Structure formats: structure tokens, C-alpha cells
Structure 1
Amino acid sequence: MLKKGTAVMLMVIGLLGGSLLTFAYTGYSGGSGSVASEGLLASLTGSAAQKDDLKKIETAMELIEGQYYKDIDRSKLVDGAINGMMEALDDPYSSYMGKETAAQFEESIEGSFTGIGAEVASENGKVVIVTPIKGAPAEKAGLRAQDIILSVNGESLEGLELNDAVSKIRGPKGSEAKIKVQRAGSTDPLEYSIIRDDIDMETVTAHMENDGVGVITITQFSLNTADRFKEELAKLEKQNLKGLVIDVRNNPGGVLSVVIDIAQQFVEKGKTIVQVEDKNQKREKEVSKGSNKPYPVTVLMNKGSASASEILAGALQQSAGATLIGENSFGKGTVQTSYDKQMGDGSLLKITIAKWLTPNGTWIHEKGIKPDIAIPQPEYFTVAPLSKEKSLKYNANNTDVKNAQIMLKGLGYDTGREDGYFDKTTEEAVKSFQKKAGLTVNGVIDTETASKLEAALIENIRDPQNDTQLKRGIEQIRKEMAASVSNSK
């Protein structure tokens, strides 16, 4: 009896007590927040209602262990109880992770893990891709933000805990993950074959365009991202940087202290970077200790820009005068902290502890941030892959034909229409592509032609010359540079 009661008590203490850790996805270090275990235990034992709650949990476990017709692994009961508590919060960003999943989570914060490379969340019981990580297998295969993952290697994810779903998605390097997803605008599920790999993320890359325009891309805000950003920015400034484009498209977020460190390099000292509001509606402002820059800045974002990416975009727009370009962002306005030491066995609780607001006090949760200049990518950037279940040929009329027509147009082949009807003009476009790709020229989109078509399209998407948003960001910087020169005369 003592052991059973102790296990439940420790579980509750782990849920309620302990210090805030400083790193999690947008983990917030807002003071110690600690409660001594002895004080918490005293308060629990001193409250009749709390003692009744603990007794209820203990009784349930005793009844299951004593009366259930099969032997039960006690650890599964404990994990199930904690998972049930987290589900009751109805918050996709608060979750319990077992030892193995917790270790994977810590790896992702550090910027290195093995899997397909996608940030996922649970929404209304469904596993939804927040964003594929740039350059990772998921992005290369064509997965997109807001795709709903239905199954992995034939195993449905329906009804699974998010951590269980993640464990099925992840796996050893070189193994295959057949991912079936539902995408908005597509009537039938889409299936991707993805080879898992080491996701050793270089979170910051940079290059210099002509006329002193620099571009820095941030793929995630991991523990070393601020240092890497400073290094790359310093290199660009040594090359006579005159304007900067910061690209956080498809960046799922990361560590709050890291994004604050980056933001204050552009926000004037004393101005607000972000506000954090706790459950008691008490707000704390994080103000810059840095200084602004003498050159203009634009930020590129899209619907895969979430959490810390949105904090950076909001801070630079409202407190540093940066121009936001691209698409409406994802809309994640909450702050999580991870608790692992308190659990004592390698498991971890990730709990939403507050919401964050932009410098002017706007809560962007489930709404996102609107760009100052809305620029979509070409339609072929988000076209669904072809099913390949059967060949497409003259006189066919379906969604796959429509997607093939969009792909062909994106590659420069004129189909004359994009309504899903496979006419003679579409057939000639297919023949032209087949000829250039070294395929049998028959005007039929079989499995080989479809695969080649998709591969060519992905290569086209990766070409910066076809990146409408990046080109517009650079164009905007050049306009602001020219205006600055004109005003200084």
C-alpha cells in the first residue's frame, strides 16, 4: 500500500512542483517558479479535497491491478494516467513524453536527431504537420505545413497519443516511412515514401546578393542558433552589408531566450521584444538590451512560420520597423516549459505555462501574423503529388491530371488548361517533357514519367530564381536602401 500511494504522490508532485526549465519549444524562463516538495506535500495532505483526489487515483489503480482479468504493467497505468491529465487540458502543445520520446525531444532542441524531419502537433485528435524542416527528407519528399498524417507504414495514427504517433514517424537512419496524409484541397489521401535520415540541422545559413543585400535563413531556434546567427551576420557586415533579408519560412520555432537574443540585435535598447502573460493575466515585458541597425531589414514568413518565428517577426515589425513579406504565419501564441528532473525517470512533461503577445499587445494564437506585403509562391510549389496507381492518358479527367497540368506549367510546358481534362494539348506537353527527360515519348503519364515529373518540379522549387517571395524580399530591401540614400542627400 505504501509503495502504491507513494507512486501516485510522486506523480502528482512531479506534475505540480519544481523549477521552470529554460529550454523547450519556446520555453520561457520567467523566474524560478519553484515550490519545495515538502511544502507541496504538506498542502496536499492538508486539503481534504486533494487527499480525496489522490485516494481516487490510488483506488482506481488498485482495482485495475487486483481485478482486471490480465496482468498489467504498472508503468503503463502511470503513463496512461499522466497522458489522461494532459489530454484533459485540451492543449496540443502540452504533452507527456516517456523516457525514449523525451530523449528524442531533447535531441531536437539541441538540433540533431534521426527521422523524417518535421515538426508535428496534435489538433482535434489528428497529427498535423506544423512545418517540415528545411532540407530534411520530409521537405524533399513534398510534405507541407497543415498536412494531416493519417498513417505510417500502414499503421493508422488515429486515436494515438502524440508521443506514440511520433515514435512511429521516427526511426533509424535508412529505414523507410510510407506516410499517408490528407491535404486541404485534395479529395484523396496522398502517400509519400520517405527514407529516414540523421537530421543534423545547420539552423543558420547566409549568403550575400548583389548591391550589399544579405540573406540569412533560420530553420529553427535551437540552443546554438543565436551564436550561429551572430557569426553569419558579422561575416555579412564585414562584406559591407547594406540591407538584410531574414528568412524564417517553415521555421517551427524553438527556444524563447534564443529568439530574444537574436531580436535585440535589431531592436533599439528599451523597446519591447515580446510580452508574456501568465494564468493570472500578469504580463512581463522582455525589453531589448541591444541596439538597432543602420540598414533596412525584411522578414520572409509563410504558414509554416510558427512560435518563435512569429515572435521574431512581430518584434522586428513593431519595434524595429522591419517589413514582413510572404504569407500569413501559423499562429502559435503560447509558451511551453519542459519538466524532466522533477519526473525522476527520464520522462518529461511539456506544459503550456503562458501566452505571448507582440510588443503592441496582440495575441496571434490561431490567427497568425499578416505580412505587410502578401506574396504567395507559384501554385506548383504546393501541388499534390500524383497517385501513380494508374497511368494518365488522353481523355482522362480527374484531380491527378489537374495536378500534372500544374506541374507541367511550372516546368514551362504549355498544357493550355489546368482543369483536369487530359486533352491533346496536354498530351503534347507530356511528350515534350518525356523527350527532354529521356523517356519513352508516348504522351502517357505512367509511374516513371510521374516520378520524373515530380523530381524535376522539386528541383525547380529549390532553385532560388523561382522563389517569388525571396525575390520580392530582396527587391523590397533594395527599394528601402535607395530611399535611405535619397533621404540622406
Structure 2
Amino acid sequence: MDENEKDLNRQDPPEEQKTPAGRRYIRIKPFVLLMMAFGLILATAGVTFFALTVGDDKVVEVVSPQTDRSQFKKLFDAYDAVKKDYYEDITDEELVNGAINGLIDSLGDPYSDYLDEVEAEHLNESITSSFEGIGAEIQERNGHIMIVSPIKNSPAEKAHLQPDDIILEVDGKSIQGMSSSEAVLLIRGEKGSSVTLKIQRAGMEEPVDVTVVRDVIPIETVYAEMLDDQVAHIQISSFSENTYKELLAGIEEMEKAGMKGMVVDVRQNPGGLLNSAIDISNLFVEDGKPLFQIEDKGKKPEVYYAKAGRKIKVPVVLLIDGGSASASEILTGAMMESAGIPTVGEHSFGKGTVQTPRQFKDGSNLKLTTSKWLTPEGNWIHEKGIEPDYPVAQPPYVKLPYIDPETEMTEGTTSMTVLAAEEMLEAVGYDPGEADGVYDERTKEAVEHLQQDEGLEVDGILAGDTTYSLMDKLREKIKTDDPQMKKAAELVHEQIK
């Protein structure tokens, strides 16, 4: 996955088949290239540029400038003026790409985008293999680049980047007004290299600099583990080519271990391929029941149904949050409305549009919003999200910002970073006194106790390995003291009884 927003994969055209009962469903062939999540995705995205296409072939009418030049006279006049009078040389390719970008930008739609050859190549890499970067899905919204969600176990997650964080700068360069694909080119880079992001987070008075060391981001999307009382926790981090196979393997592993119930977790999942979302939804929705609907411009919604096949028989609860977007929301809608599966967490991201990718001969790609998708009951969740059956908020310390280990804090230091450190110390069981942003004697004593417990040099200075140890403890607390997971497991146990 990529630091792009990711959504759903759209493909031409689906094959229609008949169920034994005569109902129509679709089988969509695998589509290797272009999510969006989501959806932002997609990735940074994001959520992240896969797109979803269901329906008839599209017919494009091409109007030749030679036969109807008057319609484009202003455009051609501007082109001629730039070529003739601009003080530096500029290529035809640069002008054409700029014109297309301007055309798409005028729509004001964060999910429609134009990717030049380089950007499209990065997207292909993120879908078909591992890639090198920070591992976060992003999208452009209202002129800002925002994080949809970090990828599980990625440098972005370890740096405590959060959904809805606004990236103001990349290595000191402002990215305000950039498209998500332009921002991705700045954020991605070779393994081992670092990038500094200036992050604005809701509730913080000042932006903070977050330095992230890039790494290889593998396309591993399913993580299965057994909780107490034979309840399996299966996390799906995105919907990629092999996610369905990974999920079946995870389920088989849990069944061998005696699984009696299941928590499906799509928190922080920005979306992915539609094929994957359909296959996974089919595991939970009875044959012949609706999965979702597609509404093209000027047409009535078309309903797509679950098909026969393997079904999950044990009790299931679904976990969602604000990072669950696009394909995650299709799965959520199908499980809630067509399978009656309880949902726990926070309202989802809210990405309910459909993008059609158009590949050009030079390798560039145009991704255009062409349709809406609706839940089985006809609800359009765009920019609203899906409200879970059991709303459960995460504790405030989950939203604490990353602390740069290169920043040294000693007695007398005053800053917003000190405030974040004090709140982290308190969250993991060390008393820093009043959390007021002042590194006082109580704060120093708390740091010394941390250093003693971790076998570090006891000097009361928060920096380097001490900072890493503090953030690792917080990450472990977030994982083990997860109120959303606890509620989901409780609901599964109730169903088992």
C-alpha cells in the first residue's frame, strides 16, 4: 500500500451470472492496477487510489479541436501565449499535464485525480508488491493533505500518526494545495532514509514535527490471533489482491485452534480492491441477500447480491473506527444490514463514491468519480460514515503525538512536547505531577523511575532510548487496554452462551 488515499477497484465490465434461485450477482475478475479505502484508501490514503467500477462500458466522445476549436479558444490562446512568451522553456508534456490537473482540480473532488507516469508507477508498486515509505494512507481535503490511517506495523503507526492528522510540511516544504499524489512523491523514499512531517492535530495548540524513518512496507493484510475463551481476533488492514486468501488461511488456523467466535477488525483500514471486499462480505452474508448498491448518474440504483459459497457459522462482531474507509465501509454495511452482525467502535470515515480509472498509453492515469455506492438498505454514507451499534471511544492517550527521540527534554524545559510526554508517563503508570507542559522535578523523577525499570542510564533526561522506551510502553498499553476490543469480545461471548 501507499501513502495515497485508497478506495475501491473499478473494472470493465463484470460478468453477470445466475444463482440457483435465479438472482443475479456479479463475479468481477481480478484487477491488478487501480483503490482506491480507501480510502485513503488511500495509502498516506486513502486513502490510497483504487477505484470501483460496476456497470456498463463507458463511451467517451472525443471532440477534435480542429472541428470545434471555438469551444476551446481560450485554452488554446493561453497555451500559445505560454509557449511564445513565458520566460523559460516548458515542454508540451508539462503543459498538458498541468491542464489536465487543473481540469480535475476544478471539480473540487478529493477522489478524482490525474496521475502522471511516475505517480501511476508508484501506485502499481504499492498494490502489487512491497514498497518503501512510511506506510500511511492520505487524501487531499479542502486544500490540506490529511492522513486517513497508518498501515499496521508501519513506521507511520510506530510514530503515532493518526487519522485526520493534517500534514502541513514535508522536510520543511509546505504541501498546502498539493494533490495527494504530489505529496506522496515527497513523502515516499528509500528504506533507512528519514522524512520530517509537520503535523497539525485536533486539540493541539501548535503543530509538531514528526521524524519518520522509512522502511519496506510489505503487503500483508490479515493478522489472526486467539484471545481468551477461544475467541479469534482477525484484523484486516487493507483489501489487496491476496487478502481473501490470507483471511481464509487465518480462519483455518483459528478453527484448528478451536475457534468458537470471531472479532473482525477493520479499524484503521482505508479500503482496497472491490473484489476482495465482495469475497470477504460473502463469507458473512447469506446467499441472495444484498451486499451493496451502485447508483450511476441519472439511473436507478443497481443492487448486487451475495452468492453461494463458504460461510462463517460462529458468532461474529465487527470493529470499526474513523480510519475505516471505502471497501471497509462496504463490508461494514453488508455485515450490519444484511447479516445483522453487531458493530463496535467509532463512526467510520465516510467514503461513498465510485471512481473509474482510465489508463493512457503513456502510462499516466485519470481517476474520475462516476457513481455513488449505497449500503444494502440504500443509505449513502458519504462524508457521514457509519455509526456502530455500540459506540465505544478510545482513551485520550491513544491520540497523543509522536515524540522525536532527537529532542532532549531536561528539568526546566517548557513546551507542548513536554505536555505530551507527561501525559504518556501518566498513561503508562509513572506520576509526572500536573501535566502542564513544564519539565519540573516531578517529571524528572518519573523519567528516572522509567529508566530504572528499563535498565537505562538514570539521568532524568528524556531523549533517545528513554523516549523510545516510553513510546513502546504506550503502544503496548494501547494494544492490551483496548476498550473497543474488550466490548467486542464481550458481545461474542454473550452470543456463544
Alignment TM-score > 0.5, same fold = yes
1:237 positional shift: 3.2
Contact 1:20 1:337 in 2 (8 A): no
**1:55-454 maps to which residues of 2 (within 5 A)?**
55-290=73-308, 293-340=312-359, 343-386=360-403, 391-393=409-411, 399-420=416-437, 425-445=442-462, 449-454=466-471
Q: State the alpha-carbon separation in 2 of the partners of residues 46 and 66 from structure 1.
A: 20
Q: State the alpha-carbon separation in 1 of the partners of residues 342 and 206 from structure 2.
A: 38
Q: State the alpha-carbon separation in 1 of the partners of residues 424 and 402 from structure 2.
A: 9
RCO greater where, 1 or 2, for CA within 8 Å and sep 6 or more? 2
Partner of 1:487: none
Distance 1:217 1:408, change over 3 A: same
Q: State the alpha-carbon separation in 2 of the partners of residues 97 and 123 from structure 1.
A: 17
1:425 positional shift: 4.5
Partner of 2:35: 24
Contact 1:147 1:181 in 2 (8 A): yes
Partner of 2:491: 476
Q: State the alpha-carbon separation in 2 of the partners of residues 327 and 20 from structure 1.
A: 35
Runs of 4+ with >6 A deviation: none
SS in 2 for 1:337: strand
Offset from partner CA, 1:189-223 (integer Å, 9 cap, x none)? 11122121221121112122343322211111012
SS in 2 for 1:265: helix
Distance 1:20 1:69, change over 3 A: farther
| Larger mean Cα displacement after TM superposition, 121-130 or 105-114 | 105-114
Distance 1:145 1:78, change over 3 A: same
Contact 2:410 2:444 in 1 (8 A): no
Contact 1:379 1:406 in 2 (8 A): no
| Larger mean Cα displacement after TM superposition, 424-433 or 60-69 | 424-433
Contact 2:170 2:186 in 1 (8 A): yes
Highest Rg: 1 or 2? 1
Q: State the alpha-carbon separation in 2 of the partners of residues 122 and 286 from structure 1.
A: 30
Say which structure is richer in helix.
Answer: 1
Contact 1:20 1:34 in 2 (8 A): no
SS in 2 for 1:34: coil
Q: State the alpha-carbon separation in 2 of the partners of residues 217 and 380 from structure 1.
A: 22
The residue identity in structure 2 corresponding to 1:34 is K
Q: State the alpha-carbon separation in 2 of the partners of residues 449 and 294 from structure 1.
A: 47
Partner of 1:33: 57
SS in 2 for 1:171: coil
The residue identity in structure 1 corresponding to 2:214 is R
TM score, norm. by length of structure 1: 0.85
1:424 positional shift: 5.3
| Larger mean Cα displacement after TM superposition, 63-72 or 357-366 | 63-72
Q: State the alpha-carbon separation in 1 of the partners of residues 434 and 269 from structure 2.
A: 34
Contact 1:24 1:338 in 2 (8 A): no
Distance 1:425 1:45, change over 3 A: closer
Contact 2:210 2:403 in 1 (8 A): no
Q: State the alpha-carbon separation in 2 of the partners of residues 474 and 453 from structure 1.
A: 28
Q: State the alpha-carbon separation in 2 of the partners of residues 249 and 401 from structure 1.
A: 29
Q: State the alpha-carbon separation in 2 of the partners of residues 255 and 128 from structure 1.
A: 21
Offset from partner CA, 1:398-442 (integer Å, 9 cap, x none)? 533432222112211234544545565444323322322334545
Distance 1:113 1:423, change over 3 A: closer
Partner of 1:465: 480
1:359 positional shift: 1.4
The residue identity in structure 1 corresponding to 2:399 is T
The residue identity in structure 2 corresponding to 1:99 is E
Partner of 2:19: none
Q: State the alpha-carbon separation in 2 of the partners of residues 409 and 70 from structure 1.
A: 58
Q: State the alpha-carbon separation in 1 of the partners of residues 89 and 417 from structure 2.
A: 51
Partner of 1:12: none
1:32 positional shift: 3.8
Partner of 1:9: none
Q: State the alpha-carbon separation in 1 of the partners of residues 455 and 253 from structure 2.
A: 43
SS in 1 for 2:419: helix
Distance 1:434 1:235, change over 3 A: closer
Partner of 2:5: none
Distance 1:444 1:249, change over 3 A: same
SS in 2 for 1:477: helix
Q: State the alpha-carbon separation in 2 of the partners of residues 432 and 238 from structure 1.
A: 44
| Larger mean Cα displacement after TM superposition, 95-104 or 171-180 | 171-180
Q: State the alpha-carbon separation in 1 of the partners of residues 166 and 214 from structure 2.
A: 19
Offset from partner CA, 1:334-385 (integer Å, 9 cap, x none)? 1222211xx1100011111211111112111111111212222232222123
The residue identity in structure 1 corresponding to 2:308 is G
Structure 1 residue runs of 5 or longer lacking an equivalent are 1-17, 483-489
How many pairs align?
A: 454
Aligned Cα root-mean-square deviation (Å): 2.6
Distance 1:73 1:304, change over 3 A: same
1:308 positional shift: 0.8
Q: State the alpha-carbon separation in 1 of the partners of residues 227 and 408 from structure 2.
A: 45
Distance 1:20 1:67, change over 3 A: farther
Q: State the alpha-carbon separation in 2 of the partners of residues 111 and 190 from structure 1.
A: 32
Q: State the alpha-carbon separation in 1 of the partners of residues 54 and 212 from structure 2.
A: 40
1:169 positional shift: 0.6
The residue identity in structure 2 corresponding to 1:479 is E
1:162 positional shift: 2.6
| Larger mean Cα displacement after TM superposition, 440-449 or 258-267 | 440-449
The residue identity in structure 1 corresponding to 2:57 is G
The residue identity in structure 1 corresponding to 2:371 is A
Offset from partner CA, 1:293-340 (integer Å, 9 cap, x none)? 432111111111111111111210111111111112111111222211
Distance 1:450 1:293, change over 3 A: closer
Contact 1:393 1:445 in 2 (8 A): no
SS in 2 for 1:264: helix
Offset from partner CA, 1:242-267 (integer Å, 9 cap, x none)? 21111111111011121011101110
Q: State the alpha-carbon separation in 1 of the partners of residues 381 and 300 from structure 2.
A: 18
1:445 positional shift: 3.8
TM score, norm. by length of structure 2: 0.84
Aligned residues with identical type, % of pairs = 43
